[in-house]
Structure 1
Amino acid sequence: MRGSSRGAARASQEAFDAALAGSADGTTLAEELFAVTSVVDGNASLRRALADPSRDGEAKAGLARSLFGGRVGQATSDLVATVAGQRWAAERDMSDTLESLAVQALLANAEGTGRIDRVEDELFRFERIVAADPALRDTLSSRNTDADGKAGLVRTLLESKAAPETVRLAEQAVRVPRGRRLDRVMEAYLELASRRRDELTALVTVAAPLEEQQSARLRSALEKHYGKAVTLQVVQDPTVMGGIRVQVGDEVVDGTVLRRLEEARRHVTGG
Structure 2
Amino acid sequence: MQGSSRAAAAASRDAFTGALAAGADRSRLAGELLAVVAVLDGNATLRRAVADASREGADKAALAERLFGGKVSAEALAVLKGVFGQRWSSERDLSDTIESYAVESVIASAEEGDRADTVEDQLFRFERIVAADAGLRAALTDESVPADKRSALVDSLLTGKVADETLLLVRQAVTAPRGRRFDHTIGHFLDIASTRRDQQTATVTSAVPLSDEERDRLAAGLSSIYGGKVHVNTVVDPRVLGGVKVEIGDELIDGTVIRKLDGARRAMGA
Q: CA deviation at 1:64?
A: 1.5
> Structure 2: which 5+ residue stretches go unaligned?
256-270
Deviations along 1:244-268, one digit per CA (max 9) or x if unpaired, are: 543334x242527xxxxxxxxxxxx
Q: What are the residue-to-residue correspondences of 1:63-142 with 2, within 5 Å? A: 63-142=63-142
State the alpha-carbon separation in 2 of the partners of residues 84 and 183 from structure 1.
29
SS in 2 for 1:23: coil
Conserved 8 A contact 1:203-1:232? yes
State the alpha-carbon separation in 2 of the partners of residues 63 and 117 from structure 1.
38
Q: CA deviation at 1:28?
A: 1.1
Conserved 8 A contact 1:203-1:235? yes
Alignment identity in percent?
51
State the alpha-carbon separation in 2 of the partners of residues 137 and 146 from structure 1.
15
Q: CA deviation at 1:86?
A: 0.9
189-198 or 3-12, which moves further after superposition? Answer: 189-198
Q: Structure 2: which amino acid aligns with 1:20?
A: L
Q: Structure 2: which amino acid aligns with 1:55?
A: R
Change in Cα spacing, 1:245 to 1:4, as seen in structure 2 (3 Å) is farther
Aligned partner of 1:205 in structure 2 is 205
Q: Structure 1: which amino acid aligns with 2:252?
A: V
Q: CA deviation at 1:201?
A: 1.3
Deviations along 1:107-142, one digit per CA (max 9) or x if unpaired, are: 111111222121111111111111111100111011
Q: Structure 2: which amino acid aligns with 1:141?
A: T
Aligned partner of 1:38 in structure 2 is 38
Aligned partner of 1:144 in structure 2 is 144
SS in 2 for 1:131: helix
SS in 1 for 2:228: coil
Q: CA deviation at 1:151?
A: 0.8
Q: CA deviation at 1:215?
A: 4.7
Aligned partner of 1:231 in structure 2 is 231
Change in Cα spacing, 1:246 to 1:91, as seen in structure 2 (3 Å) is farther
State the alpha-carbon separation in 1 of the partners of residues 6 and 184 from structure 2.
21
Q: Structure 1: which amino acid aligns with 2:254?
A: G
Change in Cα spacing, 1:220 to 1:115, as seen in structure 2 (3 Å) is closer
Deviations along 1:172-214, one digit per CA (max 9) or x if unpaired, are: 1101000000011111111222223222111122345557776
- Is the counterpart of residue 255 in structure 1 residue 225 in structure 2? no
Q: CA deviation at 1:44?
A: 1.2
206-215 or 192-201, which moves further after superposition? Answer: 206-215
SS in 2 for 1:178: coil
State the alpha-carbon separation in 2 of the partners of residues 159 and 210 from structure 1.
26
157-166 or 208-217, which moves further after superposition? Answer: 208-217
Q: Structure 2: which amino acid aligns with 1:45?
A: T
Change in Cα spacing, 1:243 to 1:145, as seen in structure 2 (3 Å) is farther
Change in Cα spacing, 1:88 to 1:137, as seen in structure 2 (3 Å) is same
Change in Cα spacing, 1:214 to 1:115, as seen in structure 2 (3 Å) is closer
State the alpha-carbon separation in 2 of the partners of residues 209 and 107 from structure 1.
26
Q: Structure 2: which amino acid aligns with 1:127?
A: E
Q: CA deviation at 1:166?
A: 1.0
State the alpha-carbon separation in 1 of the partners of residues 173 and 34 from structure 2.
11
- Output the aligned Cα RMSD: 2.2
144-153 or 31-40, which moves further after superposition? Answer: 144-153
> Structure 1: which 5+ residue stretches go unaligned?
257-271
Conserved 8 A contact 1:242-1:255? no
Deviations along 1:11-33, one digit per CA (max 9) or x if unpaired, are: 22221111011032111111110
170-179 or 189-198, which moves further after superposition? Answer: 189-198
Deviations along 1:136-181, one digit per CA (max 9) or x if unpaired, are: 0111011122111111111111111111111111111101000000
203-212 or 29-38, which moves further after superposition? Answer: 203-212
212-221 or 46-55, which moves further after superposition? Answer: 212-221
Q: Structure 2: which amino acid aligns with 1:179?
A: G
TM-score, normalized by length of structure 1?
A: 0.86
State the alpha-carbon separation in 2 of the partners of residues 8 and 241 from structure 1.
49
Q: CA deviation at 1:219?
A: 3.2
Corresponding pairs, count: 255
